Amino acid sequence: MSKAILYDATLCIACKQCEGACAQQNNLPYDDTIAAEAVQSEHKYTVVLTENDKFMRRLCMHCNEPACASVCPVGALHKTKEGPVVYDVYKCIGCRYCMVSCAFSQPKYEWGKLNPRIRKCIMCPDRVTQGRPTACAEICPTGATKFGDRDALIAEAKERLRQNPSNYVPHVYGLEEVGGTSVLLLSSVAVESFGLPASAKLGTTPMPDYTFRILSKIPDFVPLWALVLGGVYWITHRREAVALAEGSGHGNHQGGTK
Amino acid sequence: MKLKLTFWKVVFCMIMAMGVYSTFVRFYYGIGAVSNMSDRFPWGIWIGFDVLCGVMLAAGAFIVTGAAYLLNIERLHVIARPAVLTAFLGYCLVIVGLMFDLGRPWYIWHQLIYMNPHSVMFEVGFCVMFYTTVLMFEFSAAVLERFNLAKPLKWVKAALVPLVVLGVLLSTLHQSSLGTMYLIMPTKLHPFWYSPALPFLFFISAVAVGLAMTIFESSLSSRAFGRQLELPILVELGGVLYVTLWIYALLRFEDYFHRGQLTNILHPSYEAYFLWLELALAVVIPLAILSFRRARLNGTMLYVASCSTLLGFVTNRLNVSITGLDTWPGHHYFPKWTEASITAMIIALGFFIFATAVKYLPIFEGAHYTLPSAEHGPEPAELPELAPEPTLAD
């Protein structure tokens, strides 16, 4: 069963305990200075943003069909069956295609290091495989960040929308965006105001499909194009051989001097 | 002439000095210290110029060798070797550029063992690696000929046609795939440049650039090395360039038409200014010049049209990779001087190695190349009257 995180911004009080728990889980530094940073970075995988007294958490969305995993030339990122999109640093060559391709701009980079790694929320895979909630969900005092089965959380999110329609934008962000994500967002204001791409812009097509519809043609194309090129060579040189056999009467025949 | 040579030497040394300093910063303090790339803008000019433009500018070889050996147009044989040299050098320098851009370049060989066939970058990487090897074999003919190694030369000649077929095949794949790479960013890349037709546009523009580059390099080297210009050949290439640019222009128009962008591209905006520059240089100016029959027969006008085409498509690649992605509010990427100096160093190295190779190897037909005195006695420069007529094979 695939797991997910449901973040309900209307329940959030911006206590930022999720930030601290995340830092502790991933052995990252965390203090008042870092708490005040309103951007994600290589030392801050998740951030609680405040905009006009409304809150929003940013973290990796853990797409069902992640662009980052599809573009990685060495397969250093992959989606686990439990839901987390995880990173194998030992494979990574540091090309940063994952950063460029991510519609949510989630992968961050250790720009100051000589052997830099990609850094992003990996949804506590060790905890998740043990059946425990992620660090951020475990510590959340209000239940704004909730961990569970994706299907159950979708049902719960829809139920909240049905019971309190006036509290929410009537949409579960992440349900179908880019083919669905393992992080689901509920909010009383449009998520675009927190830098998330609009649902209409994202569409429901998984990002890897955009490149795979070209890439998947290549195995058919290669033998065909090779045959055409070889055929062209054969025809042009056959013409030459024929010209030669017919005698050198046509002085300005192309290739006739050979 | 003497003074000019000294001037360029000074420029070259200055570029190299700055480049060496930046290389030190890059490999001592990391990418963050040497460049203006950031989490907001993870790919800068090292990808936009060094890789995208580098590969594109090296497209001449597959077009010229394909036409010369597959279409069997024998009069193109004389320009095949300089084109192959340009491409081989170009691809080597692309790989050098990648060594700067990759965060963990010492693991580049992971491409060979951790393969991800769903990744366009994997396919591009594989093709580039493979094609560089093909170019090395194609180019080895010049070196083997120079040192009179008859036997390996015979092997290379025997393998030439399969090598050319492989070269055209691999080039078709990765020239277009560099465009496919950007298809994964429908929400990020500006609609002026994001198009489902990107792979086709990239491939056709690579053909145009390959032709323009061949004209450019022939004209330039005829000046620099005092050779006679192969004008009849350049006139033919100019004709093909003219048709290719029309095909590209039509495809670009159809693309904007079907995506409903025709009115948007006319409204002034940050992106529109760069688009206008690109289209003017890549399409409008060269097509305007080449539409005159007299210009198509004139070496200087062909040279001007080619330069414009090259600048235009360089702008195009930079627009796709930089202008079109530079949409973070309140943040514009502009390369740091150290970042740019590494690119400049790579370009300068390219010119230097090309000039050196032409001097010591049989690249141009009937050109005067120097034989190293160590092997051939004290009067080396007198020999060239007997210089062979080098082509890739024959």
Chain A residues with beta carbon closer than 8 angstroms to that of B105:
93-94
**Other CB atoms within 10 Å distance of the CB of residue A212:** 18
Q: Verify whether the Cβ–Cβ distance B118 to A70 is below 8 Å.
A: yes
Chain A residues with beta carbon closer than 8 angstroms to that of B181:
71, 97, 211
pLDDT at B198 over 90: yes
| Cα B222 to Cα B131, B214, B317, B348, distances in angstroms | 28, 12, 28, 19
Interface test with B, best of A211, A212, A242 (most B CBs within 10 A): A211
What whole-number distance in Å separates Cα of residue B110 and Cα of residue A75? Answer: 10
Percent of chain B topping pLDDT 70? 90
Give pLDDT tens digits for B228-254. Answer: 778 889 999 999 999 999 999 999 999
Least confident of A175-179, A237-241, B73-77, B160-164: A237-241
ipTM value > 0.95: no
What whole-number distance in Å separates Cα of residue B331 and Cα of residue A248? Answer: 70
Asked if the C-beta of B27 comes within 8 angstroms of chain A's C-beta atoms, the answer is yes
Give pLDDT tens digits for B276-289. Answer: 999 999 999 999 99
Percent of chain B topping pLDDT 90? 73
pLDDT at B366: 59
Place of tokens 């008042």: A32
Please state the φ and ψ torsions of residue A182, each to the nearest 5 degrees. Answer: -90, 5
Q: Verify whether the Cβ–Cβ distance B121 to A226 is below 8 Å.
A: no
Q: Verify whether the Cβ–Cβ distance B180 to A215 is below 8 Å.
A: yes
B-facing residues of A in 210-239 (CB < 8 A) are: 210-212, 214-215, 218, 222, 225-226, 229-230, 232-233, 236-237, 239
DSSP-H helix ranges across chain B: 2-29, 31-34, 45, 54-57, 60-65, 77-101, 110-113, 120-146, 150-158, 160-180, 198-224, 231-258, 270-279, 285-290, 293-296, 299-321, 337-360, 373-376
In chain A, what are the domain boundaries? 3-207, 217-258
Place of tokens 């001592």: B28
Chain A residues with beta carbon closer than 8 angstroms to that of B114:
74-76, 91
Average pLDDT over residues A220-224: 94
pLDDT at A156 over 60: yes
Question: CA angle, corner B323, sides to B286 and B93, nearest 5?
Answer: 75
Q: Return all residues near B327 (Cβ < 8 A) that are at least 6 apart.
A: B188, B190
Going by pLDDT thresholds of 50, 70 and 90, the confidence category of residue B338 is: very high
Radius of gyration of chain A (CA): 27
pLDDT at A241: 84
The secondary structure of B135-202 as a DSSP string is: HHHHHHHHHHHHTT-HHHHHHHHHTHHHHHHHHHHHHHHHHHHHHHGGGG-TTTS-TTT--TTHHHHH
Q: At what angle do helices B150-158 and B120-146 cross, to 10 degrees?
A: 140
Q: How many CA atoms lie within 13 A of A206 on its CB side?
A: 17
Q: Which residues of B327-358 are buried (b: 16+ CB within 10 A; e: fewer)?
A: eeeeeebebbebbbbbbbbbbbbbeeebeebb
What secondary structure letter does DSSP report for A79?
A: E
| CATH number at A3-207 | 3.30.70.20
Per-residue tokens: B298:
């004139």
Per-residue tokens: B198:
């990107």
Per-residue tokens: A53:
């007294």
pLDDT at B331: 77
User: Torsion angle, CA of A191/A197/A203/A207, rounded to 10 degrees?
Assistant: -130
Tell me which H or E stretch contains A86: strand A85-87
Give pLDDT tens digits for A47-95. Answer: 999 998 999 999 999 999 999 999 999 999 999 999 999 999 999 999 9
Asked if the C-beta of B184 comes within 8 angstroms of chain A's C-beta atoms, the answer is yes
CB contacts < 8 A, A to B, total: 165
Q: Closest residue of B to A99, CA-based? A: B42
A67, A203 contact by CB (below 8 A) = no
* Mean pLDDT, all residues of chain A: 92
A120, A108 contact by CB (below 8 A) = yes
Least confident of A139-153, B143-157, B272-286, B372-386: B372-386
A18, A56 contact by CB (below 8 A) = no
Per-residue tokens: A67:
């662009």
Asked if the C-beta of A140 comes within 8 angstroms of chain B's C-beta atoms, the answer is no
Going by pLDDT thresholds of 50, 70 and 90, the confidence category of residue A41 is: very high
What whole-number distance in Å separates Cα of residue A38 and Cα of residue A19? Answer: 11
A126, A120 contact by CB (below 8 A) = no
Average pLDDT over residues A139-166: 95
pLDDT at B230: 82
B168, B67 contact by CB (below 8 A) = no
Chain A residues with beta carbon closer than 8 angstroms to that of B65:
none
Q: Closest residue of A to B33, CA-based? A: A112
Give pLDDT tens digits for B166-194. Answer: 999 999 999 999 999 999 999 999 999 99
A-facing residues of B in 127-166 (CB < 8 A) are: 161, 165
For B379, counting Cβ atoms within 10 Å of its Cβ (0-12 exposed, 13-18 middle, 19+ buried), the class is: exposed
B363, B221 contact by CB (below 8 A) = no
Asked if the C-beta of A240 comes within 8 angstroms of chain B's C-beta atoms, the answer is yes
pLDDT at B369: 57
Q: Verify whether the Cβ–Cβ distance A71 to B120 is below 8 Å.
A: yes
Q: Closest residue of B to A222, CA-based? A: B169
pLDDT at B226 over 80: no
What whole-number distance in Å separates Cα of residue B257 and Cα of residue A110? Answer: 42
For the entire predicted model, the pTM comes to: 0.90
Q: Verify whether the Cβ–Cβ distance B183 to A214 is below 8 Å.
A: yes
Q: At what angle do helices B120-146 and A207-215 cross, to 10 degrees?
A: 40
Q: Closest residue of B to A225, CA-based? A: B169
Asked if the C-beta of B262 comes within 8 angstroms of chain A's C-beta atoms, the answer is no
What whole-number distance in Å separates Cα of residue B74 and Cα of residue B121? Answer: 36
pLDDT at B124 over 90: yes
What whole-number distance in Å separates Cα of residue B338 and Cα of residue B341? Answer: 5
pLDDT at A127 over 90: yes
Asked if the C-beta of A61 comes within 8 angstroms of chain B's C-beta atoms, the answer is no
Average pLDDT over residues A1-5: 89
Q: Is A185 in a helix, a strand, or coil?
A: strand
Asked if the C-beta of A129 comes within 8 angstroms of chain B's C-beta atoms, the answer is no
pLDDT at B134 over 50: yes
Place of tokens 């995993």: A69
What whole-number distance in Å separates Cα of residue A124 and Cα of residue A108? Answer: 17
| Cα B300 to Cα A94, B252, B282, B284, distances in angstroms | 44, 28, 18, 18
B-facing residues of A in 23-52 (CB < 8 A) are: 40-42
